[in-house]
Amino acid sequence: MSDHEVAVYRGRMDITVEGIDVPKPVRMFHEAGFPGYCLEVISRLGFIEPTPIQAQGWPMALKGRDLIGIAETGSGKTLSYLLPAFVHVAAQPPLVQGDGPIVLVLAPTRELAVQIQQEAGKFGSHSRIRSTCIYGGAPKGPQIRDLQSGVEIIIGTPGRLIDMLEAQHTNLRRVTYLVLDEADRMLDMGFEPQIRKIISQIRPDRQTLYWSATWPKEVESLARQFLCNPYKVIIGSPVLKANQSINQIIEVVTDVEKYNRLINLLKEMMDGSRILIFVETKKGCDQVTRQLRMDGWPALSIHGDKSQDERDWVLAEFKSGRSLIMTATDVAARGLGRITVLGSFNPY
């Protein structure tokens, strides 16, 4: 593309870029230079053209530079870093006995880590690149076996990864491609000490990529401590604002009125669609769910105190439509895939 064509494309796609020597975006999948098996999987999945974050993020990531990528949930950020990760791994010497991963992807929640692993599996199954998912709340045995057999890509939550490192089931000496998904939450949810501990074990010549749906200013200065001369790509407005494609109705009511108002909303909205209700606290989540079930509404709940098996089961019931109402704390605020949120309720 000419510089004029690049400017027109970025303007049409609402792409803002920052950095020195920013590469041009790609408009078609084959322009990115991915291996044939990646293009075959992309074709089989029915994707027609790259999303804006992929169109600009792929050339940036493939340059080997650090990167901050900001785009709304559901915009294709996961493949924006996974496909360059496969290219990166393919360019490295093969693993030998005792080697840790080449790529490390950190996520704030178990659910998001599992979803990333599912996406990685779609492409890894067509190559010799192995990946595994490391997260708390699940048995360590299978995870340890994966690590000891050798994997090129680890996707995990910080706490369980540190457990594995301290037990010497793996190491980070070969990591040269580090991803923080939902980076704003990673740096704003008390994970900072864990992130520092993990990064201290990774070689300084790594490539570091942050991906997020939002990027508050208070996160920026902290985040840049771990980056070197990064690119930055923003899809949409850099100012935090509501998604214009979502119809939001705000009602302010007293604590006493909240539950009755919720019931009235459910009566209005229950047409066979799924309804997701966000609640601030775990205790409140259980209380609301219990009261809904007592009143005849088939609700299930998910929060951080639930076992992993129960959380997986609740998510599966909700996603399949077998259970139409789910209450959740912010553990489910991101990473639920293509679930339509028809209503939310915060009673506490």
pLDDT value of position 137: 81
The CATH homologous superfamily for domain 255-332 is: P-loop containing nucleotide triphosphate hydrolases (3.40.50.300)
Please determine, for residue 272, whether its predicted confidence score (pLDDT) is greater than 80: yes
Question: Average pLDDT for residues 164-187, to the nearest whole number?
Answer: 92
pLDDT for residue 220? 80
Sheet with 207-212, edge to edge strand ranges: 15-18, 231-235, 67-70, 207-212, 177-181, 103-106, 153-156, 131-134
Superfamily in which the 3-235 domain is placed by CATH: P-loop containing nucleotide triphosphate hydrolases (3.40.50.300)
User: Which residue in this structure is represented by tokens 């912010």?
Assistant: 330
| Strongest mean pLDDT among 85-99, 231-245, 307-321, 332-346 | 85-99
pLDDT, tens digit, 9 for 90 and up, residues 276-329: 999 988 888 999 999 999 999 989 998 878 887 888 888 889 988 888 999 998
Stretch among 134-143, 173-182, 304-313, 334-343 having the lowest mean pLDDT: 334-343
Most confident listed range (13-22, 271-280, 295-304, 327-336)? 13-22
Evaluate if residue 103 carries a pLDDT over 60: yes
Residue appearing with tokens 């601030």:
280
- Of 2-16, 239-253, 325-339, the range with the lowest mean pLDDT is 325-339
**Where are the chain's structural domains?**
3-235, 255-332
Can you count the helices (H) and strands (E) in the chain? 13, 11
Q: What is the pLDDT of residue 337?
A: 46
**Is pLDDT above 50 for 345?**
no
Measure CA of the first residue to CA of the last residue in the chain; give whole Å.
53
Cα-based distances in Å from 32 to 55, 71, 117: 8, 19, 22
Q: List, for residues 211-265, the tens digit of each pLDDT value.
A: 988 888 777 877 888 899 999 999 987 665 566 677 888 899 998 899 999 999 9
Q: What is the mean pLDDT of the chain?
A: 87
Collapsing DSSP to helix, strand or coil, 325 comes out as strand
pLDDT score of 9:
94
CA 24 to each of CA 1, 29, 55: distance values in angstroms, whole numbers, following the listed order: 8, 14, 9
CB atoms within 10 A of CB 73: 16
CA 184/CA 212 separation, integer angstroms: 6
Distance CA 264, CA 258 (A): 10
How sure is the predictor about 347, in pLDDT bands with cuts at 50, 70 and 90? Answer: very low
Task: Give CA–CA dist 175/288, Å, rounded.
Answer: 44
pLDDT at site 83: 94
Instruction: Indicate if 255-332 has the same CATH topology as 3-235.
Output: yes
pLDDT for 44: 87
> How confident is residue 16, by pLDDT bands cut at 50, 70 and 90?
very high
**105 pLDDT above the threshold of 60:** yes
Q: What is the pLDDT of residue 248?
A: 83
pLDDT value for 189: 64
- Indicate the residue type of 297: W
pLDDT in tens, 21-78: 999 999 999 999 898 888 988 888 888 899 999 999 999 999 999 999 999 877 889 9
Cα 326–332–338 angle (5° rounding)?
80
Question: What does the alpha-carbon distance between residue 227 and residue 205 come to, in Å, rounded to a whole number?
Answer: 10
pLDDT > 90: what percent of the chain?
Answer: 54
Instruction: Flag the least confident range among 101-115, 137-151, 213-227.
Output: 213-227
CA 255 vs CA 243, 252, 265: distances in Å: 27, 10, 16
Cα 161 from Cα 197, distance rounded (Å)? 11
pTM exceeding the 0.85 threshold for the entire prediction: no
Does the pLDDT of residue 334 top 60, yes or no? no
- Asked if the model's pLDDT at residue 18 lies above 80, the reply is yes
